[in-house]
Amino acid sequence: MPQETTSPSRNPRGLKALPSNNVENPLSEDTFNVYYDFAQRKAEEAASRRYQATEWLREMDQGASESLPKEPSEEEFCLALRNGLILCNVLNKVNPGAIPKIVENPVIPVQSTEGAAQSAIQYFENMRNFLVAVKDMQLLTFEASDVEKGGSMNKVVDCILCLKGYYEWKKAGGVGVWRYGGTVKITALPKGSPPSLVGSESADDSLDGSESSQYEQLLEFLHLSNEVAIEESKTANALAFLFDRFGLWLLQAYLRESNEIEEFPLNAMVIDTLISKIVKDFSALLVSQGTQLGLFLKKILKTDFNSLSKSDFMEAISLYLGQRTSRASNDFFKFCICGGKREVIHQTVNHSTAYAQLIHLHQRELKEIKLDFQETKLGVKQIHSNWAEQLRRLEHHIKDLEVASSSYHKVLEENRMLYNQVQDLKGTIRVYCRVRPFLQGQTNGQSTVDYIGENGNIMIVNPLKQGKDARKVFSFNKVFGQYVSQEQIYIDTQPLIRSVLDGFNVCIFAYGQTGSGKTYTMSGPDMTTEQTWGVNYRALRDLFQIYKERSDFIRYEVGVQMIEIYNEQVRDLLVMDGSNRRLDIRNNSQLNGLNVPDASWVPVSSTQDVLEFMRIGQKNRAVGATALNERSSRSHSVLTIHVYGKELVSGSILKGCLHLVDLAGSERVDKSEAVGERLKEAQHINRSLSALGDVISALAQKSAHIPYRNSKLTQVLQDSLGGQAKTLMFVHISPEVNAIGETISTLKFAERVTSIELGAARSNKETGEIQELKEEISNLKLALEKKEAEVEQLKVGNVRSMTESQRGRAVSPFQIPRHGTSSSIKPGDYNRSSEVTLKRDGLSTELG
Ligand SMILES: Nc1ncnc2c1ncn2[C@@H]1O[C@H](COP(=O)(O)OP(=O)(O)OP(=O)(O)O)[C@@H](O)[C@H]1O
């Protein structure tokens, strides 16, 4: 081991730049030690590189192994190489023919003066050739003065090691450009630059020769040449290490990615491809890094060199590193924010600054979020309390509304009652108007109904007319729009049903042109669901309900009749035998309250009973087809419910009847385009409806004579139109434009009806005494009749006729038989004929 590397007193390279221990520059012991350690380390590294160069020279040249010791001192090394012989021989081995002629004088001991002179010649010749050849090969060179005493042996060592590297690369079959130490070197020199400043062949094109020279000078200035070389080799190692890691990570990542593939084709080709990809990426990365660093250095080198101190340089490097770090941190942030994989970051990035900034950013964001959260919380709380307040106010308001609404309903109810009472007192006929909706399949075209008011007004618009004539307002007791339910229609009718059980006569009839909805209102579209039940069924349901409620103090008997007026003939609809007997109408003196006493009278005790008979009646009803309506009823149907009640305590008798009338279509004859039988029907219908109009007109004018007898219809309804009855008319209209004529005439007729005052209705209630007296009179009358008949028979000796007059009179509790009413109801007979039905429904037959 040479002495200079072990002895601290020896300066292997002079250490001229290191501060010496002199009085002008006194150093503390610590500082001195630091410098000393540094100098020693440098000397050791320089010696190690020198030995490396020596070893190679000895291998390459026989002469070297003789003249150059294995581990020469710097001086020995310099002496051995000074004549350039070894260097030229070695260079010719590396690059045969590089030096065509080598001056090979016999070796003369260096101590002799002659030898020194010869050596000087050799030195000039050989050294010059060597340096030129090395320069031509674009390898590291040195200056001729470097092999003199006091020259820089480090440069000589660098040159030899560079040559060695080149040689080994070449021997290994090196292709392309060889880079010394694998690092980028400053090579390009301007013309005329001293050969000593030649760099390696790897060029950084962005740096010009002067910069290159400056770099060398800078390194010299910093006394870092040697250190740089060491650092370079360290960097090379580090890069090699990084390369390995980077490459292996990529490899790992690739293999991990392909985890699911069972049989991974790890053949040579795959490995080669992978590795070459990694190398490519890594090289690109290095080149870009190198470029950036080069730019940075250029920036520094462009500054005034003389004013650049070592600390300035270090500071600049720190600045650069700082900038790089912060840029990397930013990238790192972005990566994190973009949702990069954390574990990957932990593995690959160790940026404490980045973490710190990230944490800082997160904390700041957290703080902002917390503030936002607090604000939102407050906002929500505020909204909540506002809501609660509003809710309280709303509840209060709703309660007020409930109170107001209940009072309003009470007032409404009261109004209705009062109104009905007034109507009752006035005895006016109540008229309700109902508008039929457009039928299924009809397009909801223009409606003639323009407006329906709350107070019973309806405005009809005639699209065929212009100006004020186009609109006409009619007033009724109530107007029901197209979508009013059956239930709502019935509500105002309900009080009338109670009246029937109180002994009043009530007549409800439906008026309107064919297809305007009369049957719909009276019977409903079908009987299957209670929801669609018409007025008839609802009325009967209520009637029997009240009947039951009062059963403790009034005993009721109820019977029904159903007749049809067709072509001015009255027909019984409850016949079971299909007979088509013409029935007579008898008014005024009917003690039993039957205007058509010969029609079947059927006792009933429940809604079901009535429904059953109504079904029979509907079946028997004459139905004909016209151009206006396929199923046009061309007759008036009258369902009459007779109620007889006896108050159990007082014995008073109550007699009421309810006429439910479904009139035939009210349209004019010409409209129905009927001929023959249909024409006859239409004429009869028109006549009866005209008669109805005449009766109404006469009643409205309070005429002395009311022409009831002009039609069967007015005759049947006489009690309900003029007497002490309560009458309600449902007038129906269709909304279609083509029905406008009929609609207006219907409404005009109905308006006339509204104006009629019949006077206050009267109950048919008779006290027990009157009833007894009446019965007595009746019995006396019967007895008298009997006597008269006997006398008559005795006179003519016709005993047979007498027996006939006594036979077949069925008497119901409220059916006081009249002389000559041989066709009065015989429930017994009826029961016999409809035995099956009656038994099933459990009908009372006690009236028979
Ligand atoms: N308020 C309503 N809602 C729904 N459909 C109705 C309404 N009124 C009537 N209709 C429908 O209109 C058509 C004719 O009605 P409806 O038979 O009751 O008329 P009409 O005046 O009794 O006829 P006709 O004089 O021939 O007896 C029927 O299909 C019926 O279902």
Residue 507, domain CATH: 3.40.850.10
Q: Which two tokens stand for residue 707?
A: 């022409």
Is residue 268, in this structure, part of any structural domain at all? no
Distance CA 685, CA 635 (A): 7
- Do the annotations mark residue 655 as ligand-binding? no
* One domain for residues 621 and 559: yes
> Is residue 825 packed enough to be buried (19+ CB in 10 Å), middle (13-18) or exposed (0-12)?
buried
239 Cα–ligand 1 center, Å: 100
Kindly state the DSSP code that residue 531 receives in the 8-state scheme: G
> Is residue 637 packed enough to be buried (19+ CB in 10 Å), middle (13-18) or exposed (0-12)?
buried
Closest ligand 1 atom number to CA of residue 628? 26
* One domain for residues 827 and 714: no
Find the mean pLDDT for residues 383-408.
Answer: 88
pLDDT band (50, 70, 90) for residue 463: confident
Closest ligand 1 atom number to CA of residue 514? 25
* One domain for residues 381 and 493: no
Q: How many domains does the chain have?
A: 5
Between residues 415 and 831, which one has the greater pLDDT? 415
* One domain for residues 608 and 735: yes
pLDDT band (50, 70, 90) for residue 214: low
User: What is the distance of C-alpha 459 from the center of its chain?
Assistant: 44
pLDDT band (50, 70, 90) for residue 480: very high
Distance CA 293, CA 299 (A): 10
Task: Tell me which residue range forms the domain holding 635.
Answer: 430-766
Mean of the per-residue pLDDT values for the chain? Answer: 72
Distance CA 81, CA 59 (A): 15
SS3 499: helix
Find the mean pLDDT for residues 81-90.
Answer: 89
Residue 371 has pLDDT above 80, yes or no: yes
Predicted confidence at residue 57, as pLDDT, reads 93
SS3 810: coil
Characterise 15 by phi-psi region: left (phi > 0), alpha (psi -120 to 50), beta (else).
left
Find the mean pLDDT for residues 453-468.
Answer: 85
How many CA atoms within 13 Å lie on the side-chain side of 791? 6
Give the β-pairing of 623-624 and 636-647. Answer: unpaired
Find the mean pLDDT for residues 358-363.
Answer: 83
SS3 433: strand
Closest ligand 1 atom number to CA of residue 486? 1
Which residues on adjacent β-strands are paired with residue 507? 659, 727
Identify which of 511, 519, 681 to mutate to test ligand 1's pocket (most ligand atoms within 8 A of the CB). Answer: 519
Predicted confidence at residue 762, as pLDDT, reads 58
* One domain for residues 523 and 578: yes
pLDDT band (50, 70, 90) for residue 633: low
Between residues 711 and 318, which one has the greater pLDDT? 711
pLDDT band (50, 70, 90) for residue 757: low
Kindly state the DSSP code that residue 559 receives in the 8-state scheme: E
Predicted confidence at residue 761, as pLDDT, reads 58
Domain with residue 9: its CATH number is 1.10.418.10
- Do the annotations mark residue 703 as ligand-binding? no
* One domain for residues 408 and 498: no
Residue 231 has pLDDT above 70, yes or no: no
Find the mean pLDDT for residues 439-464.
Answer: 83
Interface predicted TM-score of the whole assembly (ipTM), two decimals: 0.98
Find the mean pLDDT for residues 663-668.
Answer: 76
SS3 156: helix
**Could you tell me if 82 and 39 are in contact, meaning their C-beta atoms sit under 8 angstroms apart?**
no
443 Cα–ligand 1 center, Å: 17
Domain end: 401, 426, 451, which one?
Answer: 426
Is residue 251, in this structure, part of any structural domain at all? no
Distance CA 438, CA 457 (A): 20
Is residue 188, in this structure, part of any structural domain at all? no
Is residue 239, in this structure, part of any structural domain at all? no
Residue 809 has pLDDT above 60, yes or no: no
Domain end: 402, 426, 450, which one?
Answer: 426
Residue keyed to tokens 């009652």: 417
Is residue 800, in this structure, part of any structural domain at all? yes
**What percentage of the chain has pLDDT greater than the value 90?**
12
**What percentage of the chain has pLDDT greater than the value 70?**
63
Residue keyed to tokens 């009085």: 23
Which residues on adjacent β-strands are paired with residue 506? 658, 726
Predicted confidence at residue 186, as pLDDT, reads 32
Distance CA 321, CA 817 (A): 131
Residue 630 has pLDDT above 60, yes or no: no
Find the mean pLDDT for residues 639-656.
Answer: 85
* One domain for residues 401 and 547: no
Q: Which of 138-142, 402-406, 533-537 has the highest mean pLDDT?
A: 533-537
Lowest mean pLDDT among 253-257, 594-598, 604-608, 746-750: 253-257
> Is residue 124 packed enough to be buried (19+ CB in 10 Å), middle (13-18) or exposed (0-12)?
middle
* One domain for residues 410 and 498: no
Give the closest residue to 616 by CA, choosing from 672, 570, 577. Answer: 577
Between residues 746 and 411, which one has the greater pLDDT? 746
Identify which of 516, 518, 520, 671 to mutate to test ligand 1's pocket (most ligand atoms within 8 A of the CB). Answer: 520
Q: What is the dihedral of CA 66, 69, 73, 76, to 10 degrees?
A: -10
Q: Which two tokens stand for residue 11?
A: 């300066």
Lowest mean pLDDT among 152-166, 181-195, 450-464: 181-195
Lowest mean pLDDT among 190-204, 576-590, 671-685: 190-204
- Do the annotations mark residue 513 as ligand-binding? yes
pLDDT band (50, 70, 90) for residue 485: very high
Give the closest residue to 161 by CA, choosing from 262, 87, 67. Answer: 87
Per-residue pLDDT tens over the stretch 27-42 = 445 545 655 676 788 8
Ligand 1 atom 25, closest CA: 514
Per-residue pLDDT tens over the stretch 110-158 = 455 555 566 666 668 888 899 999 988 888 888 888 887 667 788 899 8
- Do the annotations mark residue 70 as ligand-binding? no
Predicted confidence at residue 300, as pLDDT, reads 66
Distance CA 508, CA 729 (A): 6
Between residues 449 and 844, which one has the greater pLDDT? 449
* One domain for residues 762 and 791: no
- Do the annotations mark residue 617 as ligand-binding? no
* One domain for residues 54 and 131: yes
DSSP string, 324-358: HHHHHHHHHHHHHHTT--HHHHHHH---HHHHHHH
Is residue 275, in this structure, part of any structural domain at all? no
DSSP string, 97-154: TSSS----PPP--TTSHHHHHHHHHHHHHHHHHHHHHHHHTT-----GGGGSTTS-HH
Residue 183 has pLDDT above 50, yes or no: no
258 Cα–ligand 1 center, Å: 80
DSSP string, 636-663: EEEEEEEEEEEETTT--EEEEEEEEEEP
Predicted confidence at residue 656, as pLDDT, reads 86
Distance CA 103, CA 774 (A): 179
Ligand 1 atom 4, closest CA: 437
Predicted confidence at residue 293, as pLDDT, reads 78
Helices (H) and strands (E) in the chain, counts: 27, 16
Predicted confidence at residue 422, as pLDDT, reads 65
Is residue 254, in this structure, part of any structural domain at all? no
Between residues 209 and 696, which one has the greater pLDDT? 696
Predicted confidence at residue 601, as pLDDT, reads 86
* One domain for residues 468 and 585: yes
Predicted confidence at residue 432, as pLDDT, reads 93
pLDDT band (50, 70, 90) for residue 285: confident
246 Cα–ligand 1 center, Å: 92
Predicted confidence at residue 23, as pLDDT, reads 40
Distance CA 353, CA 813 (A): 115
833 to each of 536, 576, 597, how far by Cα in Å? Answer: 25, 7, 19
Find the mean pLDDT for residues 264-284.
Answer: 73
812 to each of 249, 431, 729, 825, 845, how far by Cα in Å? Answer: 116, 35, 31, 9, 10
Distance CA 365, CA 358 (A): 10
336 Cα–ligand 1 center, Å: 76
Closest ligand 1 atom number to CA of residue 484? 1
What type of residue sits at position 796? V
Give the closest residue to 44 by CA, choosing from 206, 192, 230, 283. Answer: 230
Give the β-pairing of 569-572 and 582-583. Answer: antiparallel
Lowest mean pLDDT among 378-382, 471-475, 753-757: 753-757
Domain end: 410, 426, 442, which one?
Answer: 426
Predicted confidence at residue 17, as pLDDT, reads 34
pLDDT band (50, 70, 90) for residue 204: very low
Model's pTM, two decimal places? 0.47
- Do the annotations mark residue 516 as ligand-binding? yes
Residue 76 has pLDDT above 60, yes or no: yes
Residue keyed to tokens 């009065």: 824
621 Cα–ligand 1 center, Å: 17
Find the residues whose C-beta lies inside 6 A of ligand 1.
436-437, 439, 512, 514-520, 525, 629, 632-633, 665, 732
Is residue 760, in this structure, part of any structural domain at all? yes
Per-residue pLDDT tens over the stretch 494-516 = 888 888 888 888 889 899 988 89
* One domain for residues 739 and 821: no
629 Cα–ligand 1 center, Å: 10
Ligand 1 atom 8, closest CA: 517
25 Cα–ligand 1 center, Å: 128
Ligand 1 atom 2, closest CA: 436
The residues, ordered by sequence, that sit 6+ positions from 528 with a Cβ below 8 Å of its Cβ are none
